[in-house]
Amino acid sequence: MKSVRQTALDVQNGDASALSVLEESLARIRARNDELNVFLYVDEEGARAAASALDERVARGENVGALAGVPVALKDNLCQTNIPTTCSSKILEGWRPPYSATVVDRLLLAGAVPVGKTNLDEFAMGSSTENSAFGPTKNPLDTTRVPGGSSGGSAAAVAADMTPLALGSDTGGSIRQPAALCGLIGVKPTYGLVSRYGLIAFASSLDQIGPLTKTVTDAAMALEVIAGHDPLDSTSLPEPSPSLVAHVEDGVAGKRVGVVRDLIDGADEDVVAAVERAVEVLKEAGATIVELSVPEFRLGLSAYYLIAPAEASSNLARFDGVRYGLRVNADDVTAMMEATRTAGFGEEVKRRIMLGTYALSAGYYDAYYGQALKVRTLTIDAFRRAYHEADLLLGATTPSVAFEFGSKTADPMAMYLSDVFTIPSNLSGEPAISIPFGTGEAGLPIGVQLLGPGRSEAQLFAGARVLEIADGRP
Partner 1 sequence: MTLRDGWEMVVGLEVHTELKTYTKMFCGCANAFGAAPNTLVCPVCLGLPGSLPVLNVRAVELAMAIGTALQSTISPSTFHRKNYFYPDMPKDFQISQYDLPINVGGYLDLPDGSRVAIERAHLEEDTGKSTHLGGGGRIHGADRSLVDYNRSGVPLVEIVSGPDIRSSAQARTYAAELRGILIATGASDGRMEEGSVRIDANVSVRRSGEPLGTRCEIKNLNSLRSLVRAIDFEAARQVELLEGGGTVRQETRHWDENLGSTSTMRVKEEADDYRYFREPDLVDLVPDQAWQDRVRDGLQPMPAERRAVLTQRLGDRAPALRDALEVVIDLGLDPYVIAALDAEVDADLAFARAANEIASDLVHVDNLSVESYVATLRMEQSGDLSATQAKTVLVEILANGGEPVSIAQSKGFERLASGALGEVVAKLIEENPDEWSRYRDGNEKLAQFFIGQVMKLTKGQANGKEVIAALQARR
CB of 164 to partner 1, least distance (A): 25
Hey, which residues does 73 pair with through a beta bridge? 116, 166
| Closer residue to partner 1 (CB): 42 or 359 | 359
Q: How many CB atoms lie within 10 A of CB 323?
A: 9
Alpha-carbon gap, residue 58 to 50, rounded angstroms: 12
Q: In the bound complex, what is the minimum distance in angstroms from residue 232's beta carbon to partner 1?
A: 6
Q: Does 405 bind partner 1 (CB under 8 A)?
A: no
Considering the rule CB under 8 A, would residue 232 count as an interface residue with partner 1? yes
Span interacting with partner 1, options 246-254, 258-266, 306-314, 399-407, rule CB under 8 A: 306-314
| Residue 197 is a binding residue for partner 1 (CB under 8 A) | yes
Nearer residue to partner 1 within complex by CB, 238 or 254 = 238
Choose among 309, 428, 430, 429: nearest CA to 379: 428
Q: Which of 450, 4, 426, 470 is nearest to 174 (CA)?
A: 426
Q: Single out the residue of 322, 354, 414, 442 in contact with partner 1 (rule: CB under 8 A).
A: 322
* Residue 52 or 357 having the CB closest to partner 1: 357
User: Of the two residues 142 and 338, which places its CB atom closer to partner 1 in the complex?
Assistant: 338
Using rule CB under 8 A, residue 427 touches partner 1? no
Number of residues that bind partner 1 (CB under 8 A): 46
Neighbours of 51 (CB within 10 A): 25
For residue 158, the minimal CB distance to partner 1 (Å) is 23
Q: Which of 362, 388, 472, 474 binds partner 1 (CB under 8 A)?
A: 362
- All residues at 6 or more sequence positions from 136 whose CB lies less than 8 Å from its CB, including other chains: 37, 119, 128, 129, 130, 146, 152, 405
> Which of 44, 93, 233, 268 is in the footprint of partner 1 by CB under 8 A?
233
Binding flag, residue 314, partner 1 (CB under 8 A): yes
Bridge partners of 71?
113
Q: How far is the CB of 198 from partner 1 (least distance, A)?
A: 4
**Among 90, 196, 352, 376, contact with partner 1 (rule: CB under 8 A):** 196
| CA 134 to each of CA 39, 227, 344, 470: distance values in angstroms, whole numbers, following the listed order | 10, 31, 12, 39
Residue from 305, 369, 403, 416 touching partner 1 (CB under 8 A): that is: 369
Binding of residue 205 to partner 1 (CB under 8 A): yes
Active site residues: 75, 150, 174
Partners of 439 in the β-ladder: 445
What are the Cα distances from residue 406, in Å, to 96, 146, 403, 420, 442? 32, 9, 9, 20, 18
Minimum distance, C-beta of residue 315 to partner 1, in the bound complex (Å): 8
Between strands 113-118 and 39-42, the pairing is antiparallel
Q: Between 101 and 160, name the residue whose CB sits nearer to partner 1.
A: 101
Q: Alpha helix (H) ranges present in 37-140?
A: 44-59, 102-109
Site map (CB under 8 A) of partner 1, residues 76-105, x = contact = -xxx-----x-x----x--x-xxx-x----
Q: Strand, helix or coil at 55?
A: helix
Sign of the C-alpha dihedral computed for residues 7, 12, 16 and 18 taken in this order: positive
According to CB under 8 A, which one of 55, 170, 262, 320 is a site residue for partner 1? 320
Nearer to partner 1, 297 or 369 (CB): 369
Shortest approach of partner 1 to residue 367 CB, angstroms?
14
Q: Are 395 and 297 in contact (CB under 8 A)?
A: no
* DSSP annotation of 126: -
DSSP state at residue 296: G
Strand order in the sheet with 256-260: 39-42, 113-118, 71-75, 165-170, 208-213, 185-188, 432-439, 445-451, 392-396, 256-260, 288-292
Nearest to partner 1 of 169, 449 (CB atom): 169
Which listed residue (16, 167, 264, 310) binds partner 1 by CB under 8 A? 310
With binding defined as CB under 8 A, does residue 361 bind partner 1? Answer: yes
Which CB sits closer to partner 1, 204 or 371? 204
User: Are 145 and 81 within 8 A, CB to CB?
Assistant: no
Query: Is position 198 an interface residue for partner 1 (rule: CB under 8 A)?
Result: yes
Residues 6 or more apart in contact with residue 119 via CB below 8 angstroms: 37, 38, 39, 40, 76, 88, 129, 132, 134, 135, 136, 137, 152, 153, 156
Q: How far is the CB of 102 from partner 1 (least distance, A)?
A: 10
The Cβ-side half-sphere exposure at 129, using a 13 Å CA radius, reads 37
348 binds partner 1 (CB under 8 A): no
Residues in contact with partner 1 by CB under 8 A are 77-79, 85, 87, 92, 95, 97-99, 101, 196-201, 203-205, 231-235, 310-311, 313-314, 317-320, 322-324, 332-334, 337, 357, 360-362, 365, 369
